[in-house]
Amino acid sequence: MPIKTLSQLSKPLLKMASHSPVYYQAQARTTRVLAKLPDRLLVTLVNRLDPQPRFASADPLMQLIMAANNLGSGSGIITSNIKSSRQRFNHSVNALQGAKPAVHSVRDLSFKNRHKQRIKLRHYVPQLDRTATTQAAAELPLIVFFHGGGFALGNIETHDEFCHYLCHYAGFSVLSVDYRLSPEHAAPAAIHDCMDAVVWAADNVKKLGYKAGKIIVAGDSAGGNLATVVCQQLLKTDHAVRPIMQWLIYPATDAKGQYDSHKAYGAGTLLSLRDKDLFQSFYTSDSQDTDHTVTSPIYGTLDGLPPAYVAVAELDILSDEGEAYAQRLADNGITTAYDKAPGMPHGFINLVSIHPGARRQTIAMIKAMRKFYDQTLGSKVH
């Protein structure tokens, strides 16, 4: 296939535009074809799309994905038209999902939050080793997972693939929460939904089949923010529910601070500084909550928080604030593990079916989080 034709094929790659699901499915198919090309051809395509050399730590395929995503001026992940932004995001991310690792079962549930509004859930149960007994299975914890999307985008469908990976490679059940989104529901609405989901899970041990008192909260990006904020906020309540661990994947932790990674990766990757600012403005729009720690957990009280595994992506505007938060946790005596995925941009856990490196990094991260649990809490199930 001539280079010119490949270049033409790659131009719409991952580009956010108002198109049908078929359009995004074609993008994903194109990327899978390009992934089979030798690096020298991918480098040629990258140079044609973006003559300015940057992000050398990314492999040629990831450079191509980022370059194609930033063709022209672009509209970013999110615009002032929230309905259109959600449609584009959902179509594009859903089209990227491929074959999913095996789990024992998946079922949709729901519960009513503190305002009597129904919140959807999705429960994933892992396949256990044949030597594992029923009693051993009941000793496993539950991961309550909060999806990313800047508090304004995403749902349990956009992160269905990742939850399969999380369930399969961690070996724990996963409960994915479809919390309310901004700007229609400003902070702390999402926090309340996520807190209520954790409390509901604690009250429904038998239905979910995990050991009472063993809840791990997890999330990516905005979901990582929600996971650690939930831990902070639950400490302020009369609830006896206390997560035993937090797994934070490139979390947003500081809505006010400025970091070197904001400048280094604020343009040209998969999440821009403009996106971050617009997400934040939506999240805090019309908010009646004046406690800035609900949006910036790095300024919150960290005493009493559970052990944390913090994973960031190298080519991500959030990388420095994620690292800073991990350091703050460690400085406050919280058992903390920190890892950085080299050559990966924000959102790499949603690229597992089109980028082999993203898949390897995602699997390695999940296994490392499981190892951290085993070593920290001493509850490894053989």
**Which amino acids are annotated catalytic?**
221, 316, 346
Report whether 142 contacts 173 (CB < 8 A).
Answer: yes
Give the start-end residues of each E strand in 113-232.
118-125, 142-146, 173-178, 215-220
Distance of CA 372 to the CA centre of its chain: 19
Residue 307, judged by CB atoms within 10 A of its CB (0-12, 13-18, 19+), counts as buried
- If you write DSSP's letter for every residue of 77-109 in order, what string do you get? S--S-HHHHHHHHHHHHHHH-------SEEEEE
- 342 within 8 A of 348, measured Cβ to Cβ: no
Give the separation between CA 161 and CA 151, rounded to whole angstroms.
19
182: DSSP letter:
T
Give 216's contacts (C-beta < 8 A, 6+ positions apart). Answer: 141, 142, 143, 144, 172, 243, 244, 245, 246, 247, 373
- Does an H or E element contain 338, and which? strand 336-345
* Alpha-helix runs per DSSP H in 268-340: 273-284, 319-331
d(CA 75, CA 62): 20
Q: What is the DSSP annotation of 205-264? A: HHHHTS-TT-EEEEEETHHHHHHHHHHHHHTTSS-----SEEEEES----SS---HHHHH
Q: Do residues 201 and 215 lie in contact, with contact meaning Cβ atoms separated by under 8 Å?
A: yes
- Look at residues 156, 158, 150 and name the one whose alpha carbon lies nearest to residue 79: 150
